[in-house]
Amino acid sequence: MSTETQVKQRLLETDGEFQQLAARHDELESRLTRLSEHPYLSEPEQLEKSALKKQKLQLKDRMENILQRSRNLAGSTQDPASPSVASR
């Protein structure tokens, strides 16, 4: 399992906000999949599809921010602080 996958899995198990974002992201993906099965989209459906894509992207950005924050925290706790260089 890749480190990225491990971080995502840990967040899905422990971070309520990440869980909610992931669940909503999946809901939007399901709706987009249903819309893509239509041979023709009405104007309201086209607008909905566009709005869903934007919402999905916003959720993905928020999830990525949480992932990055988690990576940074993990990195700072694993790497010992480098000794400061004495002034001359």
Distance CA 44, CA 52 (A): 12
Task: Count up the domains in the chain and report the number.
Answer: 1
Predicted local distance difference test score (pLDDT) of residue 85 = 43
Q: Domain span at residue 66? A: 3-75
Residue 88 lies in a domain: no
Predicted local distance difference test score (pLDDT) of residue 75 = 74
CA-nearest of 12, 3, 2, 1 to 66 is: 12
Residue 85 lies in a domain: no
Task: Give residue 35's identity as a one-letter amino acid code.
Answer: L
Residue 47 lies in a domain: yes
Predicted local distance difference test score (pLDDT) of residue 83 = 44
Per-residue pLDDT of the chain (88 residues; tens, 9 = 90+): 678 888 899 999 999 999 999 999 999 999 999 999 999 999 999 999 999 999 999 999 999 999 999 888 877 765 444 444 444 3
Residue 87 lies in a domain: no
Q: Is 47 exposed, middle or buried (0-12, 13-18, 19+ CB in 10 A)?
A: exposed
Residue 37 lies in a domain: yes
